[in-house]
């Protein structure tokens, strides 16, 4: 069987697309490998959001030249956002590349790879077709033991934030039909997946253009799928966060109490220049409303520091917003100049040293809140969906002869715990089971606790109770 190696760079949408690439190539007989040396076809699924991600892609492609010299039959493909943005230029820059394809070409991939393989042609497909071409689901999905998976519900974006490449490389916003989305999630749930994260650049506007119903209606349909226990989504744009969607958090049992609501800046002046189409006051009002409906709601966000023209006073307002909201976690990025986006031509570009300094200050300020929101869980029981073994080395006092398991709370916090020989059978814990964990320690990026009960089977009864509740 020919082997396919995929290097995925970037966001969750690319993780999902890489699975679609694998599925699209299954009819050609390719099976996925984690060993680059074994591959007959290597695909780099690229990200163009920041310059660093783009450099990472080109450096990996550079390394492939040596592999191809040793293995002349190797086919090298570049997909994703950099492929869409650069097209033919990639072939000129990297002679080892045989195929360049944009995100919308994935359903055509089987034919494109065959053209390269049989005719030994170099092929480019970055056609920006309208709407969404669905992949045939009949081939199913490879069950690789993942219990939480991503499902893209829409592509592209119409918002044109002035710093962002997405509308240029992913095209106009288009939503998948709910029947396709629900069928895919039913198939995943039947295969043992217990949690899905619905993906889109602005899920709040799902279905509006095509009149496919609202996002809250889609969530209601997903909530009814048997075997599925948890629903998450990302990303929500604050300008479109409707009362209907906020109310869904109070109404739908499976919808986890966590929202990722990127704010980008705490200054109205910067938000306007970013074309975000909401103000700080609107953002705060939406947060208050979310907390009214779910007081236990975990809230995370994205910030960009050093946007062109961001003054010290603007940045202080961002720090002030962190204090006011008390986020559970943030992702913060230094503004990265993207020539295709309008902000590239804005006056007041900020130098790297100042961006770095602001990033450090922001992260330091947030650290206090992340720790305090994690510490607030100490002594409380959390339901954890076990995903696998922890990759984090345990601290001395946590180390036992037993391996550390890892999973997430409904609020999306990572919890590590040791299997407790006094609790249920030695092999009671496994990926895909819910475990009740009493939290004992809180760190910046994770929690640690002791198991109290272990589900006997997915969706089944709580098993042994081990420690006094
Ligand atoms: N659609 C989402 C939204 O509107 O919030 C964001 C999607 S984008 C893939 C993820 C994050 O990357 C953004 O929230 C933003 O913080 C960051 N980002 C986007 N363009 C950037 C740029 N040019 N420089 C730095 N960060 C950027
Ligand atoms: Fe980019 Fe803005 Fe669209 Fe998000 S909403 S993908 S930041 S243009």
Q: How far is the CA of 66 from the centre of ligand 2 (A)?
A: 37
Q: Both tokens of residue 82?
A: 């950099």
Ligand 1 atom closest to Cα of residue 331:
16
pLDDT in the model for residue 461: 63
**414-418 vs 404-408, strand pairing mode:** antiparallel
Q: What 8-state DSSP symbol labels residue 133?
A: P
Task: Report the alpha-carbon distance of residue 388 to residue 380 in Å, rounded.
Answer: 22
Q: How far is the CA of 260 from the centre of ligand 1 (A)?
A: 12
pLDDT in the model for residue 469: 36
Q: How far is the CA of 232 from the centre of ligand 2 (A)?
A: 19
Task: Report the alpha-carbon distance of residue 349 to residue 334 in Å, rounded.
Answer: 12
Does ligand 1 lie within 6 Å of residue 338's CB atom? yes
Q: How far is the CA of 49 from the centre of ligand 1 (A)?
A: 7
Ligand 2 atom closest to Cα of residue 157:
3
E-strand ranges in 174-236 read 174-175, 195-199, 230-234
Does ligand 1 lie within 6 Å of residue 302's CB atom? yes
Q: Both tokens of residue 300?
A: 């995370």
The ligand placed nearest to the CA atom of residue 12 is 1
Nearest residue to 178 (alpha-carbon basis) of 204, 206, 203: 206
Does ligand 2 lie within 6 Å of residue 156's CB atom? no
pLDDT in the model for residue 52: 96
Task: Report the alpha-carbon distance of residue 266 to residue 276 in Å, rounded.
Answer: 12
Asked whether the CA dihedral 198, 108, 81, 272 is positive or negative, the reply is negative
pLDDT in the model for residue 400: 57
Q: How far is the CA of 332 from the centre of ligand 1 (A)?
A: 9
Q: What 8-state DSSP symbol labels residue 264?
A: B
pLDDT in the model for residue 429: 87
Task: Report the alpha-carbon distance of residue 223 to residue 220 in Å, rounded.
Answer: 5
Is residue 315 within 8 A of residue 302, CB to CB? The reply is no
Asked whether the CA dihedral 180, 185, 188, 189 is positive or negative, the reply is negative
Sheet holding 148-152, edge to edge: 148-152, 195-199, 230-234
pLDDT in the model for residue 325: 98
Task: Report the alpha-carbon distance of residue 101 to residue 400 in Å, rounded.
Answer: 48
Rg (CA), the chain: 23
Task: Report the alpha-carbon distance of residue 40 to residue 33 in Å, rounded.
Answer: 10
Does ligand 2 lie within 6 Å of residue 340's CB atom? no
Nearest residue to 413 (alpha-carbon basis) of 257, 201, 203, 249: 257
Residue having the nearest C-alpha atom to atom 5 of ligand 2:
159
How many residues in the chain? 469
Q: How far is the CA of 163 from the centre of ligand 2 (A)?
A: 9
Does ligand 1 lie within 6 Å of residue 170's CB atom? no
pLDDT tens, N- to C-terminus, the chain (469 residues): 999 999 999 999 999 999 999 999 999 999 999 999 999 999 999 999 999 999 999 999 999 999 999 999 999 999 999 999 999 999 999 999 999 999 999 999 999 999 999 999 999 999 988 888 888 766 667 777 889 999 999 999 999 999 999 999 999 999 999 999 999 999 999 999 999 999 999 999 999 999 999 999 999 999 999 999 999 999 999 999 999 999 999 999 999 999 999 999 999 999 999 999 999 999 999 999 999 999 999 999 999 999 999 999 999 999 999 999 999 999 999 999 999 999 999 999 999 999 999 999 999 999 999 999 999 999 999 999 999 988 766 554 555 555 689 999 999 999 999 876 666 555 688 899 999 999 999 999 999 999 999 998 887 666 655 544 3
Q: How far is the CA of 168 from the centre of ligand 2 (A)?
A: 10
């Amino acid at each position: 069987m020919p082997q396919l190696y995929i290097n995925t760079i970037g966001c969750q949408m690319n993780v999902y697309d890489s699975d679609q690439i694998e599925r699209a190539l299954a009819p050609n007989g390719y099976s996925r490998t984690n060993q680059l040396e074994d591959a007959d076809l290597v695909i780099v699924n690229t990200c163009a959001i920041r310059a660093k991600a783009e450099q990472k892609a080109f450096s990996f492609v550079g390394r492939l030249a040596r592999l191809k010299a040793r293995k002349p039959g190797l086919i090298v493909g570049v997909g994703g956002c950099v492929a869409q943005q650069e097209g033919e230029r990639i072939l000129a820059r990297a002679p080892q590349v045989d195929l360049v394809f944009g995100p919308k070409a994935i359903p055509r991939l089987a034919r494109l790879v065959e053209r390269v393989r049989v005719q030994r042609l170099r092929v480019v497909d970055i056609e920006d077709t309208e709407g969404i071409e669905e992949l045939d689901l009949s081939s199913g999905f490879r069950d690789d033991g993942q219990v939480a998976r991503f499902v893209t519900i829409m592509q592209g974006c119409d918002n044109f934030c002035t710093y962002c490449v997405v509308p240029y490389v992913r095209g106009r916003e288009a939503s998948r039909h709910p029947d396709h989305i629900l069928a895919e999630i039913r198939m995943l749930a039947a295969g043992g997946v217990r949690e899905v994260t619905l993906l889109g650049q602005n899920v709040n506007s799902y279905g509006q253009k095509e009149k496919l119903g609202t996002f809250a209606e889609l969530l209601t349909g997903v909530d009814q799928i048997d075997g599925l226990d948890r629903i998450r989504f990302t990303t929500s744009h604050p300008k479109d966060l409707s009362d209907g969607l906020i109310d869904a958090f109070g109404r739908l049992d499976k919808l986890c109490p966590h929202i990722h609501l990127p704010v980008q800046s705490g200054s109205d002046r910067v938000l306007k220049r970013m074309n975000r189409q909401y103000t700080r006051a609107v953002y705060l009002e939406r947060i208050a409303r979310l907390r009214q409906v779910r007081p236990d709601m975990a809230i995370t966000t994205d910030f960009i520091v050093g946007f062109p023209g961001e003054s010290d006073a603007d940045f202080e307002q961002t720090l002030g917003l962190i204090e006011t909201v008390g986020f559970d976690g943030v992702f913060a990025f230094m503004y990265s100049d993207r020539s295709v986006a309008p902000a590239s031509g804005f006056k007041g570009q900020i130098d790297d040293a100042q961006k770095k300094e602001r990033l450090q200050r922001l992260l330091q300020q947030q650290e206090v809140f992340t720790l305090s929101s994690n510490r607030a869980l100490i002594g409380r029981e959390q339901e954890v969906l076990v995903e696998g073994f922890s990759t984090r080395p345990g601290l001395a006092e946590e180390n036992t002869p037993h391996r550390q398991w890892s999973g997430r709370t409904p609020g999306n916090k990572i919890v590590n715990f040791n299997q407790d020989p006094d609790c249920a059978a030695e092999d009671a814990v496994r990926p895909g089971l819910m475990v009740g964990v009493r939290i004992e320690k809180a760190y910046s990026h994770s929690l640690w606790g002791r198991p109290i009960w272990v589900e006997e089977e997915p969706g089944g009864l709580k098993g042994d109770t081990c420690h006094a509740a």
